[in-house]
Structure 1
């Protein structure tokens, strides 16, 4: 019998309290509310998970962030669903795929204990919200006292059991997760990215990749997509860049880190069109750089683009550092970026997207309407009419603030639907 099952049996043998019918009814009604959590609850939960002093450094990667969010939401919904079915009863450990995959990714990245810390922080936030729910459901102090006593024990035991169950599963898989080609490559690459004293010759032998010459770093990722689709996307990138080979590292179960020995990068629009053939997969590309320092820098640039795309919840599938550097700088505070867009563009934000596209292209082409018509495959007169309409919608004419309007238009082009951004 596994240690986890023994622990469950031993605790059950000590007896689990059976709440009164009044307490069970409060727990059931509260659990029904928890099954449909308010957006502000989830925002607080996710903020605590990924923005604490101890865990934030681990979650600069949007894939790890998303894994942590899904894992903590899975815990919340698992516990709530169990208490709708049988209020106050002991809740079985959560062994959901989201939880296990988040833990696996942590192990791959050498962040084993961090995942457990996020679950504890999620527990603390959920408990505060649970108390608010309970206080809103009954004024009977005796019932409320019973509900809080039972559910406090329930939540604590549930998290303890889940941590133990997941740890047991991961222990059985640890050898596979930390041995083999991809884990060895990831370990070597991580040392290089940290600037550790690894000789170039040693690193090249381990990676099977030359660290001299040009490097173009890229990150390919997608949530809930099969591994072969990530590989297909990597091959598309290879074709788009004209590279003859690539270094590929499995960073998590949902993302690949790539380096291609090429001196140029395709444009975002070209990659965006190419990636329509691989649903739900995204790519972020750095700038071509030289040598070992360039190997590090181009990856960090790709990671900057990836974080920007995740932060803005963009519908675009691909982005390059050359095309998004300004947007990345301007979008660190998404709420402030949204205010800048609204204040600068006014009614143009909600107008026909072709208007914003035409004005953005016009500013990019140094206000040359003929070149805009050529790029957009439309008549020059159409361009002029659209530009006139843009000035009618803008708070002030384009000529008054071409730089600010251009920056806001580029932000708008990358911004996803409002309310879809991640914490």
Structure 2
């Protein structure tokens, strides 16, 4: 009996779990076991392994670049998960045989609405169920530490399942009500229309450039820098993010930019890429705002450049999320290699073409010569031996390869070597 119940998914337990049904009457012994289990759970709830398990099933999108890599979502839902679990456990300690009042963390619901938009309700429900099932697995481990008596286990599991399910369903309902409030507020303020328009561009939809530029009061036809300004700390004021967003505009040497406040903790920015981004200026202001972070990327002109610049900024942000990095300022160029290493063959091709320029389409013998030269520690004699080629022939090919590279080899050896290695396997 113990083994069968221990690993049974919460959703498949054949126990009455209607949150509106009468609660079972249990003995003082079962009430005390519930209270004791909640006390054990309080210690477990502060464990990084427990929170990692909950986060591991939480907020994964359908794309290969999952939204759970976003450091803002990570921080908000880490806080929300901890708060919800502690709320339930503390309520059980106080009144083990009573329904736990629903609990919803607004900032977690808000970020779901910001990132998933039209699918927010479905994602909120999906993730609520996922967290519930993981929490139930941990609770069962606690239950089987408390008693081995079959009848006590049956009653304890019945009370636990009703309590957890009713708390989860009622809390989810609070979240759904919050989503409705957010949608109504956006319609009144006009923010929803602006975010929707930008999202359509990012999603690759073909829209009218002139009309869009007019609606956003920003020229889509120009080349673009794009930044994501964010904070993972709950007490960071939106004014701090707006300050950094304004400095990004100055760092691009522009008097105008497009700024969209996606949420109280995230701002998207676009500015003309006529000039390079002055990172030193950004570093100076970030020292005054330790909780604010910024990632940026650059793109060509038009809709594709607008989209590419934002996606590169987003990719850089998510690299920091995956690596749990505390770095405040990052450009996609700085982490392009790290972003590419976790992606598919198409992304590898894109990375290699960016780093190698014309060399990516050069004859295989030219690429292979440079590849061997780098593998041999930039020793031309050894590389010639490895390729069974005369040294002078190798030197001519190396000179040709150097001419094709967008940047001098001496300044970019590591990335060129990785790009050539990638092409070796995919071409």
Q: When the two structures are superposed, what TM-score results if normalisation uses the length of structure 1?
A: 0.70
Question: Is 1:30 the equivalent of 2:31?
Answer: no
Unaligned runs of 5+ in 2: 1-17, 344-412, 419-427
Question: Is 1:193 the equivalent of 2:202?
Answer: yes
Counterpart among 167, 175, 183 of residue 176 in structure 2: 167
**Secondary structure of the corresponding residue to residue 205 of structure 2:** coil
Aligned positions, number = 330
1:290 corresponding residue in structure 2: 301
* Structure 2 contact 225–296 (Cα < 8 Å) conserved: yes
2:358 corresponding residue in structure 1: none
**Secondary structure of the corresponding residue to residue 91 of structure 1:** coil
Spell out the pairing of 1:362-377 with structure 2 (5 A cutoff).
Answer: none
Alpha carbons of structure 1 residues 287 and 191: separation in structure 2 relative to 1, 3 Å: same
Question: Is 1:115 the equivalent of 2:124?
Answer: yes
Runs of 4+ in 1 over 6 A off after TM superposition: none
* Structure 2 contact 58–68 (Cα < 8 Å) conserved: no
1:344 corresponding residue in structure 2: none
**Secondary structure of the corresponding residue to residue 286 of structure 1:** strand
1:412 corresponding residue in structure 2: none
* Structure 2 contact 295–329 (Cα < 8 Å) conserved: yes
Structure 1 residue 53 displacement after superposition: 5.7
**Secondary structure of the corresponding residue to residue 90 of structure 1:** coil
Structure 1 residue 164 displacement after superposition: 1.5
Question: Is 1:75 the equivalent of 2:46?
Answer: no
* Structure 1 contact 246–259 (Cα < 8 Å) conserved: yes
Question: Is 1:320 the equivalent of 2:331?
Answer: yes
1:202 corresponding residue in structure 2: 211
* Structure 2 contact 273–298 (Cα < 8 Å) conserved: no
Greater shift, 43-52 or 148-157, is seen at: 43-52
* Structure 1 contact 107–177 (Cα < 8 Å) conserved: no
* Structure 2 contact 227–270 (Cα < 8 Å) conserved: yes
Unaligned runs of 5+ in 1: 1-9, 333-401, 408-423
* Structure 1 contact 31–84 (Cα < 8 Å) conserved: yes
Structure 1 residue 187 displacement after superposition: 0.2
Output the aligned Cα RMSD: 3.1
2:243 corresponding residue in structure 1: 232
Separation in 1 of the partners of 2:37 and 2:63?
31
1:394 corresponding residue in structure 2: none
Deviations 1:7-40 (A, max 9, x none): xxx977x543343222122212221232232322
Separation in 1 of the partners of 2:338 and 2:77?
26
Counterpart among 235, 244, 249 of residue 255 in structure 2: 244
1:339 corresponding residue in structure 2: none
Separation in 2 of the partners of 1:403 and 1:200?
39
Q: When the two structures are superposed, what TM-score results if normalisation uses the length of structure 2?
A: 0.69
Separation in 2 of the partners of 1:196 and 1:103?
22
Spell out the pairing of 1:246-261 with structure 2 (5 A cutoff).
Answer: 246-261=257-272
Question: Is 1:16 the equivalent of 2:23?
Answer: yes
Counterpart among 284, 291, 305 of residue 280 in structure 1: 291
Counterpart among 219, 222, 227 of residue 213 in structure 1: 222
Separation in 2 of the partners of 1:139 and 1:172?
47
Alpha carbons of structure 1 residues 75 and 265: separation in structure 2 relative to 1, 3 Å: farther
Which is greater in Rg? 2
